[in-house]
Each structure stands twice: as structure tokens, then as C-alpha cells.
């Protein structure tokens, strides 16, 4: 089988642009992995790249000349930069630094690497590597979106410990993973995401998100500051793993993820109804910050301010959606609740697990600016285990929880 793949790839050549980042050393390993798979590499080293790996080591592994300088007369005489940019079947940027991607996204051409990226008529595959804050910076997000829209492919970055000591997204994909992506791209695959394992394929996941609004009268309501970001991120993460996702959302200012069924609701009562209508499902994740109370009597007309008495506001409890679905006749196989806590987080979450009758509780410390913020510090509480997670972006936290759910089903 390996020989067959090698045969199919043996006439393939990539142009590898090695950017200046600590992950540049992995480009050397990549050249070896590719050679074993029968894929030849011709390399360009950026000036910053030469600070991390030398032309000599790259050339020794690729068995070819290494190009570094746009203004080299001898290089241009042998092979001009236009020809270089077209001499391969695929251009691969490893590590793709924030700087290289910014240049490519904006059409800058002030060195050999960026000129090649602008001149090439071949597909470009980027393997980004950078600090998590740089990866999540709005400018990088914009540049990546632009490159994707222009037809570029991406492999990684992955979540993990980074050379700078931080943890998060930004760690470059491993050479074997990049080599897999290169093979797919060389075989004509234009959506590498579609190649990811769909570990939740065939599963129906129901998620609630956002706040609820409990009307006092036609113009006033009780609500809370929930932004819906964590629930929406979870919907995306589960959909990315191939799940069918129904997202029951309170009023938020977010665009529903592509491919997710969205059911918009206002009150806790409506949210419960929408959830029950969405059954049966395999997983229920109750992320919504459901209002705990609602006015017992809702005015049909706007309550008038008469300048004398303040109207009494009698409250009653809203239906507990999580509890209801946990003991439902169509109970989902896995029921996950969220618990926003400010103190004694683990004991409170364990008590909630029992009280609500769900399988897992994701406890989050809301003593900071979690509501509306982009990060979350979560603890996954199960009956027999307590797993504290580091501070993660809501997207990373969602992907981690989605992966845990997939792992749970794979063991059943
Ligand atoms: O009881 P508490 O509000 O702290 O529980 C939080 C969990 O219960 C969350 O998962 C939330 O979505 C869910 N919940 C619910 N219905 C309510 C109140 C909370 O589903 N009325």
C-alpha cells in the first residue's frame, strides 16, 4: 500500500517555503517524511527562516538547491522567481508565520517567498504556527479568511503547549499530518476540513444557548448578560465533527454556524417546548443561561408609571429544561449541563449533577468576565471524575468538549 502511494506520488514535487519561526525545524522532518512518500521538495528559505534552519541542512535533505534571495543574479539566471513559483505541483508554507500570511493575503511582494506566493499559479497550503494571541488576533483571522477565500488550504494549527510557554491554538501541525494534507492536496482535494475524522457522524446533538427573556409586559422583560458565544461555539465544534446539530437559541447577536439547524426562542417555556420538539437526540448540552424566574403575571398592556406606587413584581420559577430532559421518556443518551459558579465550584457542580439528573456538568468560574467574554475556565465534573481545564478560548473549550463527547460514544 505504502509503495502504491509512493508510486502515485513519485512524480510530484512541492515548493516548500520555510518561514521564520521556532517550528521551522519541523520543516526538515517534513522534507524527510515527504521523501519517504516519494514527494520531492524544492525549498525557499525566508531571511527570517535562515535564523532557525540553515540552507545547508535544508539542501542536504531535499537534495536540491535552496533559494533564499530575490535579488541574486546567479539564482535568477538558473531559475527565475516566476519559473520557481510554477515549477512545483503545490506550494507549501511551513511554518506559515503571521507575517508571511499577512503579506500573501495583501499581495505584498518584497522578498522571494512573498513574490513567489504572488506569482504562483499553483494551490498554496499553509501550516500556520504562532503564539495563540497572534493566531486569534483579528488581523490574522482576517488574513486567514482572505487566503481561504482565495483558494488556499490550511493544515492546523493545533492546540497544545507552545514554545513561548503558553497553551492554546497556534502549535504547528506535526510533519506527518502536514504530509497527509500535502498528499490530499496533490490528489486534488480542495477541502481539507472534509478529510478530518467525523467522530460524531450519525449523532444528533441538541444545544441550548444564550439568555432567555421573561416578559413583564409587552415592552419589558427579565433577562441576563449571556452572549451565547459558548453555546454557538459548541454547535460549530459538534457540526465540524459531523453531528447533526439543533441549536435552540435565546436572543443573541451572533450568526448561527453554517449547517446548524437554528430554532430561535425568547422565553424559558418556549425553549423547553423547542427542546422537547427536537427529541429524540443523542446528546443534549444545556448551555443556555435560562432565567431562573419569570413574572407570575405578564401585563397584556404596558404597565403605566403613575408616579405613586411601584408595581409589585411577583415571580415564579421557570421550567428547568435540563432537569426535564434528564428525566424525559425520550432521554438523550448523554445529558450535559453547565454550572456558572463564583465559589466552591466543584462541590456546587457535584451537587447540581445529582439534583438535575444529568451525566456531566461543565462548571465554569464566572467570577471574572466570562459572560460575554471570549475565554472560559471550565471543570468537567462527572460522577467519578473531576477534570479541571486550563483557561481556553470558548472555541477551544468547545472543541475539547466535542472531542470528549466523541470519545465517550466511541467507548460505548
Ligand atoms: O440551576 P442552575 O441555573 O445553576 O443550572 C444551570 C444549568 O441548568 C445550565 O445547564 C442551564 O442551561 C440549565 N437550566 C435549565 N433550565 C432552567 C435553569 C437552568 O435548563 N430553568
Mean pLDDT value of segment 67-79: 70
Residue 1 has pLDDT above 50, yes or no: no
Residue 402 has pLDDT above 90, yes or no: yes
Say if 251 falls within a structural domain: yes
How far away, in angstroms, is 13 Cα from ligand 1 center? 56
Phi/psi for 288 (5° steps) reads -60, 145
pLDDT band for position 237 (cuts 50, 70, 90)? very high
Mean pLDDT value of segment 111-129: 96
Residues of the chain with pLDDT > 70: what percent? 94
Say if 15 falls within a structural domain: yes
Half-sphere exposure in the Cβ direction for 392 (13 Å, CA)? 21
pLDDT band for position 367 (cuts 50, 70, 90)? confident
Residue holding cell 494571541?
Answer: 133
Look over the chain and give the mean of its residue pLDDT values, rounded to a whole number: 91
d(CA 157, CA 141): 13
Residue 35 has pLDDT above 90, yes or no: yes
Say if 337 falls within a structural domain: yes
- Same structural domain for residues 238 and 265? yes
Q: Return the number of other C-beta atoms located less than 10 Å from residue 262's C-beta.
A: 16
- How does DSSP classify residue 318? P
How far away, in angstroms, is 319 Cα from ligand 1 center? 9
| Residue scoring higher pLDDT (40 or 161) | 40
Q: How many domains does the chain have?
A: 2
Per-residue pLDDT of 191-215, as tens digits, reads: 887 667 788 999 999 999 999 999 9
Say if 97 falls within a structural domain: yes
Mean pLDDT value of segment 123-131: 96
- Same structural domain for residues 233 and 190? no
Task: Return the pLDDT at 98.
Answer: 97
Would you say the CB of residue 363 lies under 6 angstroms from ligand 1? no
- Same structural domain for residues 284 and 189? no
In terms of C-beta density within 10 A (0-12 exposed, 13-18 middle, 19 or more buried), how is residue 261 classed?
A: middle
Mean pLDDT value of segment 271-290: 98
| Residue scoring higher pLDDT (365 or 318) | 318
**Choosing from 164, 238, 275, 281, which is the catalytic residue?**
164
Which atom of ligand 1 sits closest to the CA of residue 318? 21
Residue 2 has pLDDT above 60, yes or no: no
Mean pLDDT value of segment 72-84: 71
- How does DSSP classify residue 51? G
Provide the domain limits for residue 344: 204-292+312-410
Residue 403 has pLDDT above 70, yes or no: yes
Beta bridge partner(s), residue 275: none
Would you say the CB of residue 286 lies under 6 angstroms from ligand 1? yes
Domain at 82, CATH number? 3.40.50.1950
The region, left, alpha or beta by phi > 0 then psi within -120 to 50, assigned to residue 362 is beta
- Same structural domain for residues 15 and 64? yes
164 is catalytic: yes
Residue holding cell 486534488?
Answer: 188
Would you say the CB of residue 320 lies under 6 angstroms from ligand 1? yes
Task: Return the pLDDT at 195.
Answer: 67
Amino acid at each position: 500500500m505504502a509503495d502504491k502511494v509512493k508510486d502515485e506520488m513519485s512524480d510530484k514535487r512541492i515548493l516548500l517555503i520555510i518561514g521564520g519561526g521556532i517550528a521551522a525545524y519541523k520543516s526538515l522532518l517534513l522534507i524527510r517524511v515527504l521523501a519517504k512518500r516519494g514527494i520531492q521538495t524544492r525549498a525557499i528559505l525566508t531571511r527570517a527562516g535562515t535564523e532557525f534552519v540553515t540552507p545547508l541542512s535544508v539542501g542536504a535533505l531535499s537534495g536540491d538547491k535552496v533559494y533564499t534571495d530575490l535579488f541574486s543574479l546567479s539564482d535568477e539566471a538558473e531559475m527565475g522567481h516566476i519559473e520557481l513559483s510554477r515549477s512545483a505541483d503545490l506550494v507549501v508554507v511551513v511554518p506559515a508565520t503571521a507575517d508571511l500570511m499577512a503579506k500573501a493575503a495583501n499581495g505584498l511582494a518584497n522578498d522571494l517567498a512573498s513574490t513567489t506566493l504572488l506569482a504562483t499559479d499553483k494551490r498554496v497550503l499553509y501550516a500556520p504556527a504562532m503564539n495563540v494571541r497572534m493566531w486569534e488576533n483579528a488581523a490574522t483571522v482576517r488574513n486567514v479568511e482572505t487566503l481561504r477565500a482565495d483558494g488556499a488550504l490550511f493544515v492546523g494549527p493545533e492546540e497544545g503547549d507552545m514554545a513561548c510557554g503558553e497553551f492554546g491554538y497556534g502549535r504547528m501541525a506535526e510533519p506527518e499530518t502536514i504530509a497527509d494534507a500535502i498528499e490530499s492536496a496533490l490528489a486534488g482535494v480542495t477541502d481539507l476540513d472534509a478529510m478530518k475524522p467525523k467522530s460524531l457522524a450519525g449523532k444528533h446533538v441538541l444545544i441550548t444557548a444564550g439568555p432567555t427573556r421573561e416578559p413583564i409586559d409587552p415592552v419589558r422583560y427579565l433577562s441576563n448578560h449571556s452572549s451565547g458565544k459558548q453555546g454557538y461555539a459548541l454547535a460549530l465544534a459538534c457540526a465540524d465533527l459531523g453531528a447533526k446539530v439543533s441549536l435552540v437559541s435565546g436572543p443573541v447577536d451572533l450568526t448561527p454556524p453554517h449547517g446548524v439547524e437554528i430554532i430561535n426562542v425568547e422565553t424559558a417555556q418556549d425553549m423547553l417546548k423547542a427542546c422537547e420538539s427536537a427529541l429524540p437526540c443523542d446528546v443534549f448540552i444545556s448551555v443556555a443561561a435560562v432565567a431562573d424566574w419569570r413574572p407570575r403575571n405578564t401585563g397584556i398592556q404596558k404597565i403605566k408609571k403613575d408616579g405613586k406606587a411601584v408595581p409589585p413584581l411577583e415571580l415564579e420559577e421557570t421550567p428547568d429544561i435540563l432537569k426535564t430532559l434528564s428525566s424525559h421518556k425520550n432521554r438523550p443518551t448523554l445529558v450535559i449541563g453547565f454550572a456558572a459558579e463564583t465559589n466552591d465550584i466543584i462541590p456546587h457542580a457535584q451537587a447540581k449533577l445529582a439534583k438535575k439528573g444529568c451525566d456531566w456538568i461543565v462548571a465554569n468560574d464566572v467570577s471574572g468576565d466570562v459572560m460575554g467574554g471570549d475565554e472560559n475556565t471550565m471543570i468537567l465534573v462527572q460522577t467519578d471524575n473531576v477534570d479541571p481545564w486550563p483557561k481556553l478560548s470558548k472555541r477551544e473549550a468547545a472543541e475539547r468538549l466535542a472531542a470528549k463527547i466523541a470519545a465517550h460514544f466511541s467507548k460505548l
